[in-house]
């Protein structure tokens, strides 16, 4: 999905634009979905791609929504991020290229992964309406 910078600015809030298009990070414990526990799907706020299932969400205590896995592996891509003097793995939406957050190898469950995702890069669709 390709859009011009002006098109992205028209459809995203200023905070969403900074996170999704400029790889920003919302402050911890401020996002809408940090303490959100309703069943359903979390979709990309930029393009609507299904990203994470609420059943895979857990409280990591980090201040950002955390998930053990994506809905489908092909809906997210991981790439090395060496910004801010750190070595991390960035997670992006494969449909629109939007920055979602980072993935770390310290999560629970089979995968052992923690997808640490910015709330403003997501929208939630309740179970039954997805």
Higher pLDDT, 87 or 60: 60
Output the CA–CA distances (angstroms, integers) from residue 61 to 24, 27, 57, 64, 101, in the order listed: 20, 14, 12, 8, 16
Closest to 68 (Cα-Cα) out of 80, 51, 82, 81? 51
Q: Are the CB atoms for 36 and 20 separated by under 8 Å?
A: no
Give the model confidence (pLDDT) of 80-126 as tens digits. Answer: 887 777 788 999 999 999 999 999 999 998 889 999 999 999 999 99
pLDDT at 88: 86
Higher pLDDT, 88 or 78: 78
Output the CA–CA distances (angstroms, integers) from residue 40 to 23, 49, 91, 93, 117, in the order listed: 26, 14, 21, 18, 16
Give the model confidence (pLDDT) of 20-39 as tens digits. Answer: 999 999 999 999 999 999 99
Domains in the chain, ordered, with CATH?
A: 5-126 (2.170.150.20)
Closest to 121 (Cα-Cα) out of 74, 79, 59, 76? 76
Please indicate whether residue 44 is annotated as part of the active site.
no
Q: List, as own/partner pairs, every contact residues 74-77 make where C-beta atoms lie below 8 angstroms and the sequence separation is at least 24, other chains included.
A: 75/49, 75/50, 75/51, 76/51, 76/100, 76/115
- Indicate whether this model's pTM tops 0.85: yes
Catalytic residue among 44, 93, 116, 120: 116
């Amino acid at each position: 999905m390709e859009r011009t910078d002006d098109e992205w600015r028209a459809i995203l809030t200023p905070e969403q634009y900074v996170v999704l298009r400029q790889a920003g990070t919302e402050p911890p414990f401020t996002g809408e979905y940090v303490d959100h526990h309703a069943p359903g799907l979390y979709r990309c706020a930029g393009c609507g791609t299904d990203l994470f299932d609420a059943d895979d969400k857990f409280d990591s205590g980090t201040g950002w929504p955390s998930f053990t896995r994506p809905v489908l592996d092909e809906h997210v891509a991981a790439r090395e991020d060496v910004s801010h003097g750190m070595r991390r793995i960035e997670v992006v939406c494969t449909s629109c290229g939007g920055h979602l957050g980072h993935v770390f190898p310290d999560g629970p469950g089979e995968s052992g992964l923690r997808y640490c995702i910015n709330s403003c890069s997501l929208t939630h669709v309740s179970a039954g309406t997805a």
